[in-house]
Every structure is written in structure tokens, then in C-alpha cells.
């Protein structure tokens, strides 16, 4: 049990005594014209400071009786309890109800021999070739198209102005020499259709009706007419895959480039594998260890998750209305995620303690040495970073050590596979 609800009653005599004590303290402090400090008649104090005396008395009574009630129940709370109900008038019994939370007492189960499935991917000649093609695409140049008309594969340079349904210009939407990839799925259908078949110098309108929940606040719920003028029609020209290209992208020659690309792909595959294994471990631990967690911690974490999502969506240009709607739709999901994160933190901390794991000064120095080796000439900056971010670094090392332990004791079933090609990944 993480939460406890307690009803408290304080007799009118105790409350009255506390009120009198409050009036006495106020009298010692009060400054009223015509009276010496500390010598104001008590009747005057009662008339002028009845509300303040009541507030002081109630605060004092609650602080003492809350602690007494928790001690009686042998309940050690996290922070000060929350007063949920309160009823008191001068001369009457003081009644209130409070709720308190404490850390759960847990015994973590089944964290050794966790069954895991690990896919070990091999880099094939085809997957290496595909990654080299991606590199060529990234380094492609835009050159004038051999065709004089816009096609589905064209890269079109356009100027456009935008107008709302009343013909008012939307100056924040206009663009000059803006390049549009007609092959991209992110381009609005009406825009694509307007451009197809046009030649340089041609002009055409594209009328687009945006839904009310569209991510851009400027466009959401509006009917916008784009007046488009084609400035240029271009196509991609890929560099030849040879030693010269390899040197242009920082390799010694083509063979060296292939080696570097292979290493990059292997590193990315390992990163994905590590993330997948960590996800499997987390899901298994959460499934095997279900217990109640403090609801106020869940509420705080939920609020944090909501704020992160809001900030992210706003940075992407989403409207306030759209963001609030997504928050409303995601309330249950946010609550579930917040509860899982809090429960997982208790599970992982318990395992760390059970297994007597620790992050030592030697661990921190080793990590610092690694960072200095990978950042030659920036040793002083690394020292400064470790001084400023020591707590974050310790948390990161704690996680590494903990998951290293869980992985070492896990039951891992491996399966060797060829790396999926991009088209196969999309199909999957």
C-alpha cells in the first residue's frame, strides 16, 4: 500500500487553546497606533486579528496532528501529505482528511535469466551497395532538366504567393525560388497536380483546403489559393562512385570509403540492437513486477510527459488548438506511460541495491579518459564537462552497469540475418 487516507478530529478545547496561543503571539507582534508595542488590549486583538489567529492555529494543529496520525499508523510519507477535506469554525471540533504517499516496499522478481531474442544482422554486398547509393544521393547536384516540362520525378524551383478565401494575401506563406521534389510523399496532392506538365515561366493556381486540426496554425481550417510560377526545372545528377568521389567525402579511396560505410552501418545496427534488447528487458521486468506506486509521483511524471510533447509539437509548428486536442486524446496513454516509468525506476533501483552494484570514482575516471581519447586537444573541456555534469554522468554509468549486469545474466537466443534493404524495411 503506497497511499493512506486518514480522518482527523481535534476537540474544540484543544483548538480553542491553540487559538488563544495564536492571539497571544499576534499581540506580542502587533503594532497599532495609540498603543505601545505588545500592550494592545486583547479585545482589540480578537476583533482585528480573528481570521489570522484562526489560520495560524489551524496550521499549527494540522502540522502536529498529521505527524501524530502517521506515527500511529507507522507510515513514513514522501513529502508532506495533502489535505483533501477541511471543516472548522471557531468554538467547534476541527475535522479534516489527508492523504499521504510512501515508497512501495517491493521484492523484485525474475530479473535473472531474462529470455531475450537478439537478431544479429550481416552486411551483404547489396546492403552495402544501397548505403553507398544513399551517400551518392546526399551528394547529388541539381542540374537543369533535359525535359522542358515538369514530371513526377522533377525538382521544380518555384515562386508562390498565398491568399485566403477572401483574397487576402498571407505574406508569411510566400516563397521565392523554393525547390519542390515532386517525388516526395510529403507534398500536398493539389500542389503536385498543379505543377505537372508546366514549363519554365508558366503560372498556375493551386487551391487547397486545410483541415481545422492541421499542424500549422497559419493554415489550419483555411482555404488557401497558391499562385505558383515555375522558375526552373531540375533533376538530380549523382556523382560517379569512384576514388575522386571517395576523396570528396573524406575517404582515401573507394575501398576506404566502403570500409567506412560498412563500419558506420555496423555501428548503427549495433545501436538498434542495443535499444531493442533494452526494450525487451524493460518490458519483461514490468510484466513480472506489478505493484502500486505513489500516485502523486505518477501525476508529476505525467505532467512532465505532456509538457515535453507540447513543446515538441509547438517546435514543429503545430497550432495551439491541435496541440491541446492531442493532449486531450492522449490523457490515458500519458497516464499509463507515467506509471510505467515510475514503477520501472523502483524496479531498477531495487536490483541495483540487491546486487550491491555501485558507480565508483574509478568508473568516472575511466569514462573521462575515454572521452579525452576521442576528443584530442579538448581535454580541458572534458574536465569541465565532467565537473558540471557529474550527477548526469553517474546516472548514465549506473544505467550502463545495471543493464550490463542484466544482460550478462540473461538467457539470449540469437538469430543471424542479412541486413534488410530499404525497400524491405518499408514493406516490413
Tell whether 343 is covered by a domain.
yes
Among all chains, which residue has been given the C-alpha cell 496520525?
Answer: 69
Q: Has residue 276 got a pLDDT over 90?
A: yes
| Together in a domain, 94 and 206 | no
Q: What is the mean pLDDT of residues 217-232?
A: 89
Grid coordinates given for 216 = 500549422
Q: What is the pLDDT of residue 324?
A: 87
| Together in a domain, 232 and 267 | no
β partners of residue 230? 158
Where would I find the H helices in 140-253? 189-195, 243-248
Q: Which residues are CB-neighbours of 404 under 8 A, at least 6 positions away?
A: none
Q: Distance from CA of residue 180 to its chain's centroid? A: 32
Among all chains, which residue has been given the C-alpha cell 531495487?
Answer: 350
Q: Has residue 423 got a pLDDT over 60?
A: no
Q: Has residue 427 got a pLDDT over 50?
A: no
Contact indicator for 195, 228 with CB cutoff of 8 Å:
yes
Q: What is the mean pLDDT of residues 403-415?
A: 94
Confidence of residue 256 (pLDDT cuts 50, 70, 90): very high
| Together in a domain, 321 and 413 | yes
User: Rounded CA gap, 331 and 298, in Å?
Assistant: 13
Q: What is the pLDDT of residue 275?
A: 94
Q: What is the DSSP string of 97-163?
A: EEEEE--------S-SS-EEEEEEEEPPHHHHHHHHHHHHHHT-EEEE-SSSS--TT-EEEEEEEEE
Tell whether 134 is covered by a domain.
no
Please state whether 262 falls in left (phi above 0), alpha (psi between -120 and 50) or beta: alpha
| Together in a domain, 184 and 316 | no
Confidence of residue 426 (pLDDT cuts 50, 70, 90): very low
Q: What is the mean pLDDT of residues 241-263?
A: 94
Q: What is the mean pLDDT of residues 275-288?
A: 96
| Together in a domain, 150 and 25 | no
Q: What is the mean pLDDT of residues 156-185?
A: 89
| Together in a domain, 12 and 71 | yes
Q: Has residue 303 got a pLDDT over 90?
A: yes
Q: What is the pLDDT of residue 192?
A: 86
Grid coordinates given for 395 = 546516472
Q: Has residue 422 got a pLDDT over 80?
A: no
Q: How many domains does the chain have?
A: 3
- Please state at what angle helix 390-408 crosses helix 379-388, rounded to 10 degrees: 90
Q: Has residue 214 got a pLDDT over 90?
A: no
Question: Which residue range is the domain that position 26 belongs to?
Answer: 3-101
Tell whether 428 is covered by a domain.
no
CATH of the domain at 216: 3.10.50.40
| Together in a domain, 233 and 253 | no
- The overall average pLDDT reported for the chain is 89
Amino acid at each position: 500500500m503506497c497511499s493512506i487516507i486518514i480522518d482527523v478530529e481535534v476537540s474544540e478545547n484543544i483548538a480553542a487553546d491553540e487559538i488563544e496561543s495564536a492571539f497571544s503571539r499576534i499581540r506580542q507582534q502587533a503594532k497599532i497606533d495609540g498603543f505601545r508595542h505588545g500592550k494592545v488590549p486583547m479585545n482589540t486583538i480578537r476583533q482585528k486579528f480573528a481570521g489570522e489567529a484562526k489560520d495560524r492555529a489551524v496550521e499549527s494543529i494540522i502540522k502536529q496532528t498529521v505527524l501524530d496520525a502517521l506515527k500511529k499508523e507507522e507510515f513514513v510519507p514522501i513529502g508532506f501529505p495533502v489535505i483533501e477535506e477541511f471543516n472548522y469554525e471557531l468554538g467547534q471540533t476541527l475535522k479534516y482528511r489527508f492523504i499521504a504517499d510512501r515508497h512501495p516496499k517491493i521484492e523484485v522478481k525474475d530479473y535473472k535469466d531474462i529470455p531475450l531474442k537478439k537478431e544479429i544482422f550481416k552486411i551483404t554486398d547489396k546492403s552495402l551497395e544501397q548505403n553507398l547509393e544513399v551517400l551518392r544521393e546526399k551528394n547529388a547536384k541539381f542540374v537543369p532538366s533535359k525535359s522542358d516540362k515538369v514530371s513526377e520525378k522533377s525538382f521544380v524551383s518555384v515562386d508562390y504567393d498565398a491568399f485566403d478565401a477572401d483574397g487576402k494575401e498571407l505574406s508569411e506563406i510566400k516563397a521565392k525560388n523554393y525547390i519542390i521534389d515532386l517525388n516526395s510523399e510529403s507534398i500536398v496532392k493539389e500542389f503536385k497536380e498543379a505543377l505537372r506538365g508546366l514549363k519554365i515561366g508558366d503560372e498556375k493556381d493551386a487551391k487547397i483546403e486545410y483541415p481545422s486540426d492541421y499542424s500549422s496554425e497559419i493554415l489550419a481550417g483555411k482555404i488557401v489559393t497558391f499562385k505558383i510560377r515555375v522558375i526552373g526545372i531540375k533533376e538530380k545528377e549523382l556523382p560517379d562512385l569512384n576514388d575522386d568521389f571517395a576523396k570528396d567525402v573524406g575517404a582515401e579511396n573507394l575501398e576506404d570509403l566502403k570500409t567506412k560505410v560498412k563500419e558506420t552501418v555496423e555501428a548503427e545496427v549495433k545501436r538498434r540492437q542495443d535499444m531493442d534488447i533494452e526494450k525487451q528487458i524493460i518490458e519483461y521486468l514490468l510484466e513480472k513486477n506489478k505493484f502500486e506506486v505513489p500516485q502523486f509521483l505518477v501525476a508529476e511524471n505525467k505532467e512532465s510527459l505532456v509538457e515535453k510533447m507540447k513543446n515538441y509539437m509547438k517546435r514543429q509548428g503545430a497550432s495551439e488548438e491541435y496541440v491541446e486536442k492531442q493532449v486531450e486524446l492522449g490523457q490515458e496513454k500519458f497516464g499509463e506511460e507515467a506509471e510505467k516509468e515510475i514503477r520501472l525506476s523502483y524496479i531498477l533501483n531495487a536490483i541495483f541495491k540487491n546486487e550491491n552494484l555501485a558507480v565508483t570514482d574509478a568508473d568516472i575516471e575511466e569514462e573521462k579518459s575515454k572521452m579525452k581519447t576521442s576528443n584530442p586537444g579538448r581535454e580541458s573541456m572534458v574536465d569541465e564537462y565532467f565537473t558540471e555534469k557529474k550527477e548526469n554522468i553517474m546516472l548514465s554509468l549506473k544505467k550502463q552497469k545495471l543493464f550490463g549486469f542484466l544482460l550478462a545474466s540473461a538467457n539470449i537466443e540469437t538469430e543471424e540475418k542479412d541486413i534488410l534493404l530499404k525497400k524491405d524495411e518499408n514493406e516490413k
